[in-house]
């Protein structure tokens, strides 16, 4: 007998659309008019290699049990009670409604595990709904699109522990021993492939004096022996894990990225696009500079792209063995980075040599440290104590004589660390004050130089004129 997944949500959030996608055919009627589904509908769902019974339920409405909507709600409650997991669906474009909150309260009182999914989140249309959904109390939501099939891999990983009995262990990307996804990027002929070959100790990748040899992004799994292993934090039971001396790394070599105006060849355009996809896939990105050429504008553009994508960044200066006036070169690049990457101060800068192996252990160690900060979550209590101290030391301005009040903040997600600050009139907050808070978070909460994002949300005024 297959395990059961029951979809629950208020009317018209896209339950039937998702149901049809999971069963692979249009079994359930779908229309823009709410309340199309009335009875429970079952089908055999499949998500990758996972099979289960999927139940499409009527929209949950808080009505008298004797009414039609009330009887529909009772059918929904029966479906949830008999399921291994409830898939709670909300509309990302609309956000959290009072009925969503009512459903959440009922689900918290049930014994059925709940997976929260924010539907209609294609593009950035569901960003507000995703942020609001944290208030429902079911942890990290999954952003999906039942219509377009986006987010199905994340849905698979969230459902698997509940319906597969843990038979297949899903790797935890935030675990200390998780594989590090490390991309090496840079301009052509910076020595990216040579560097990876030196790390691996073999000629795994084709190299040569010609620029542009690498076309595809190539990933290679490797075990790094940490010469100075750090003790991991105790687990929830107080047990201290063993020292991690052997660390797993997935090295990703990429094509050289030239100025866009110089890229005319179709194949090179595809190679650069592939390199950009590699950045999206990576957790930490090493930007490799050529010590014989120093820091150029294109390097800063690549670095800015990495930061905008929310990836942790490390900058390594290659060919250090042939560098002239190494000390002056290092300090000059550091000063140029501080000016050119003003949005992210203190990016790790490491001198390396793909020929001699200098600095490679330091670079890999810095990459693991960067990922740890990138994965970090701050408890809400600690976060808000810091927040209160920060706004007490430097209160928000009062444009036009009207005070901006910031009430509290929460960490919405990690990878990269993203925070939401709630208050009133936050849209009038100067960019300089946002930078003050951002720099304080990095400095005081030990996020180092990883990209940190802050979103501001204003409280809705119920007395505002909507007319």
Average pLDDT of the residues in 47-53: 84
Higher pLDDT, 274 or 288: 288
Q: How, if at all, do strands 406-413 and 284-290 pair?
A: unpaired
Residue 73 above 80 pLDDT? no
CA distances from 335 to 362, 423, 439, 443 (A): 21, 37, 19, 20
Query: What's the confidence (pLDDT) of residue 266?
Result: 60
DSSP reduced 3-state for 259: coil
DSSP reduced 3-state for 100: helix
Burial of residue 410 (CB within 10 Å: 0-12, 13-18, 19+) is middle
Distance CA 82, CA 45 (A): 16
> What is the residue-averaged pLDDT of the chain?
83
Average pLDDT of the residues in 64-89: 71
212 band by pLDDT with thresholds 50, 70 and 90: low
Residue 39 above 70 pLDDT? no
12 band by pLDDT with thresholds 50, 70 and 90: confident
Residue 437 above 60 pLDDT? yes
Domains of the chain: 4-163 (3.40.50.300), 180-375 (3.40.50.300), 380-458 (3.30.300.20)
Residue 207 above 70 pLDDT? no
Residue 172 above 80 pLDDT? no
Residue 181 above 60 pLDDT? yes
Q: What is the DSSP letter of 4?
A: E
Phi, psi of 169 (to 5 degrees): -80, 120
Q: Is the peptide bond before 393 cis (omega within 30 degrees of 0)?
A: no
Query: What's the confidence (pLDDT) of residue 307?
Result: 94
Of the ranges 19-23, 188-192, 214-218, 322-326, which one carries the lowest mean pLDDT score? Answer: 214-218
Residue 440 above 80 pLDDT? yes
166 band by pLDDT with thresholds 50, 70 and 90: very low
Average pLDDT of the residues in 29-35: 38
Higher pLDDT, 163 or 407: 407
Distance CA 423, CA 69 (A): 37
- Contact between residue 216 and residue 256 where contact means Cβ atoms under 8 Å apart: no
DSSP one-letter string for 25-75: S--S---SSTT---S-EEEEEEETTEEEEEEE-PPP----TTSHHHHHHHH
Query: What's the confidence (pLDDT) of residue 68?
Result: 42
127 band by pLDDT with thresholds 50, 70 and 90: confident
CB atoms within 10 A of CB 297: 9
Average pLDDT of the residues in 390-403: 90
Residue 53 is encoded by which pair of tokens?
A: 């019974």
Residue 461 is encoded by which pair of tokens?
A: 């005024």
Distance CA 203, CA 451 (A): 34
Q: What is the DSSP letter of 266?
A: H
Q: What is the DSSP letter of 276?
A: H
As a whole-number percent, the residues of the chain with pLDDT over 90 amount to: 46
CA distances from 334 to 345, 346, 348, 452 (A): 10, 9, 9, 21
Residue 238 above 50 pLDDT? yes
pLDDT tens profile 405-422: 999 999 988 999 999 999
Distance CA 409, CA 55 (A): 37
Distance CA 432, CA 430 (A): 5
Distance CA 134, CA 1 (A): 34
CA proximity to 132, closest of 461, 458, 463: 458
CA proximity to 15, closest of 2, 24, 6, 4: 6
Query: What's the confidence (pLDDT) of residue 368?
Result: 96
Query: What's the confidence (pLDDT) of residue 29?
Result: 36
Q: Which residues contact 237 (CB under 8 A, 6 or more apart)?
A: none
Name the maximum alpha-carbon separation found in the chain: 86
Of the ranges 52-61, 190-199, 446-455, which one carries the lowest mean pLDDT score? Answer: 52-61
Query: What's the confidence (pLDDT) of residue 441?
Result: 95
Q: Which residues contact 3 (CB under 8 A, 6 or more apart)?
A: 52, 53, 84, 85, 162, 163, 164
Query: What's the confidence (pLDDT) of residue 372?
Result: 94
Query: What's the confidence (pLDDT) of residue 124?
Result: 76
């Amino acid at each position: 007998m297959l395990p059961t997944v029951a979809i629950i949500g208020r009317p018209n959030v896209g339950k039937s659309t998702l149901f049809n996608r999971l069963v692979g055919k249009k079994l359930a009627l779908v229309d823009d008019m709410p309340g199309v589904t009335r009875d429970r509908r079952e089908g055999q769902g499949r998500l990758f290699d996972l099979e289960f019974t999927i139940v499409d339920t009527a929209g949950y409405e808080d009505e008298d049990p004797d009414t039609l909507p009330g009887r529909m709600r009772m059918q929904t409650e029966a479906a949830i009670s008999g399921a291994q997991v409830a898939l709670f669906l909300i509309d990302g474009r609309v956000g959290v409604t009072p009925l969503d909150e009512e459903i959440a309260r009922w689900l918290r009182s049930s014994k059925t595990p709940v997976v929260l999914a924010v539907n209609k989140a294609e593009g950035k249309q569901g960003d507000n709904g995703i942020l609001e959904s944290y208030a429902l109390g079911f942890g990290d939501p999954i952003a999906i699109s039942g219509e377009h099939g986006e987010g199905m891999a994340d849905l698979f990983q969230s459902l698997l522990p509940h319906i597969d009995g843990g038979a297949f262990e899903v790797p935890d990307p935030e675990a200390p021993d998780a594989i590090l996804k490390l991309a090496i990027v840079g301009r052509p002929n910076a020595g990216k492939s040579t560097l990876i070959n030196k790390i691996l100790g073999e000629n795994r990748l084709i190299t040569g004096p010609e620029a542009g040899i690498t076309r595809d992004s190539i990933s290679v799994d490797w075990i790094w022996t940490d010469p100075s292993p750090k003790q991991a934090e105790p687990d929830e039971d107080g047990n201290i894990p063993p020292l991690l001396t052997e660390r797993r790394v997935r090295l990703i070599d990429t094509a050289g990225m030239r100025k866009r105006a110089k890229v005319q060849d179709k194949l090179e355009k595809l190679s650069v696009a592939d390199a950009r996809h590699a950045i999206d896939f990576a957790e930490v990105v090493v930007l490799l500079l050529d010590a014989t050429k120093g820091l150029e504008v294109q390097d800063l553009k690549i670095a800015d792209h990495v930061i905008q994508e929310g990836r942790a960044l490390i900058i390594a200066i290659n060919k250090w063995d042939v560098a002239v006036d190494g000390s002056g070169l290092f300090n000059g690049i550091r000063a140029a980075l501080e000016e050119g990457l003003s949005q992210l101060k203190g990016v790790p800068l490491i001198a390396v040599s793909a020929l001699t192996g200098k600095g490679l252990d330091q670079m890999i160690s810095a990459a693991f440290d960067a990922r740890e900060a990138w994965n970090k979550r701050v408890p809400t209590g600690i976060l808000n104590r810091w927040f209160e101290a920060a706004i007490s030391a430097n209160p928000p301005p009062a444009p036009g004589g009207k005070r901006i009040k910031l009430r509290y903040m929460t960490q919405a997600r990690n990878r990269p660390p993203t925070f939401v600050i709630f208050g009133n009139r936050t849209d009038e907050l100067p960019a300089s004050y946002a930078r003050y808070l951002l720099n304080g978070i990095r400095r005081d909460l030990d996020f180092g130089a990883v990209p940190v994002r802050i979103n501001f949300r204003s409280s809705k005024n119920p007395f505002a004129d909507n007319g």
